[in-house]
Structure 1
Amino acid sequence: MKFYTSIPKELKPYFNSELEIYETELSCGNFIKAWNHLERAHIIGQKYPYAHTLVHWKMLHFGILIKNRTEIIGQIPRLIFGGVKSFVGKIPVGNPGGANVPPLKSYPIEKDLQDIFVKSGIN
């Protein structure tokens, strides 16, 4: 079993970029675009406990900001268990992380995100 810790330096710029775009879109009130970039950050960082937990923290904050009870309640267990599942390498690949999707279901990864993983040498 492989234990994952921090996000590799090859992926970190892409992860950080998604979070920066999220913050920009959020500050402009573009909630749908902001959420999309949080989901993309989740997919990039979900193998790594700190990155994974950070995105779920931001998703919880987003749910509070937009007053979405489902998102708030759905993020609490994801926030608690997501990082642990990452640490032991048991994550549903491609899962966007929101409360609107089953937490243990894998999803296809968008082509541009697949390309990031390939370019970074991360499988």
Structure 2
Amino acid sequence: MHPILKQAFDLEMTTAKNLYNESKYKESFFHLERAHILGQRFVIPHTYNHWWMLKVGIRNKDKREIFGQLVRLAVAGIGSLIGRVPIGNTGGADIGIMQVLPIQEDLKVLLERAGETT
């Protein structure tokens, strides 16, 4: 993972974890979605991100999110490994698993600076 992406991914994940620990699950999930966009091309960050999304789903007692994250945990690493990830996908169960989405401008700039095509 390029240092620019790693730094941004780590910041989003740290923010998400801090909000999770404060029981601010909606806000936490927002930062997990941003981290997902940055880390989905890399096996370990991608899988780790879905683990945290599952944790939020469990805290919210959201059966759809729990099931969706279990499925994603099973396939996320493989998708990253073979380069089959939907660019811009935020990773939540409310989005199709292979749905491509527009990338927020600030994240797009980071991806471009890191040499990742968007």
TM-score, normalised to structure 2, is: 0.93
* Shift, 1:26, TM fit: 1.6
**Distance in 2 (alpha carbons) for counterparts of 1:121 and 1:104:** 22
- Aligned match of 2:60 in 66, 70, 75? 66
**Within 5 A, what are the aligned runs for 1:8-27?**
8-27=2-21
Q: Secondary structure at the match of 1:67?
A: coil
**Distance in 2 (alpha carbons) for counterparts of 1:109 and 1:82:** 19
* Shift, 1:61, TM fit: 1.2
Q: Partner letter of residue 27 of structure 1?
A: N
Residue 117, structure 1, aligned to residue 115, structure 2: no
Percent identity, aligned pairs only, is 36
The runs of 5 or more residues in structure 1 that have no matched partner are 1-6
**Distance in 1 (alpha carbons) for counterparts of 2:97 and 2:109:** 24
2:50–2:69 contact (8 Å) kept in structure 1: yes
**1:19-56 deviations in whole A, cap 9, x for unaligned?**
01101222223222111000000000000111110011
**Within 5 A, what are the aligned runs for 1:49-60?**
49-60=43-54
**Distance in 2 (alpha carbons) for counterparts of 1:61 and 1:110:** 24
2:4–2:110 contact (8 Å) kept in structure 1: no
**Distance in 1 (alpha carbons) for counterparts of 2:68 and 2:75:** 12
Residue 90, structure 1, aligned to residue 90, structure 2: no
The runs of 5 or more residues in structure 2 that have no matched partner are none
- Aligned match of 1:32 in 19, 26, 33? 26
Q: Size of the alignment, in residue pairs?
A: 117
Q: Partner letter of residue 87 of structure 1?
A: L
TM-score, normalised to structure 1, is: 0.90
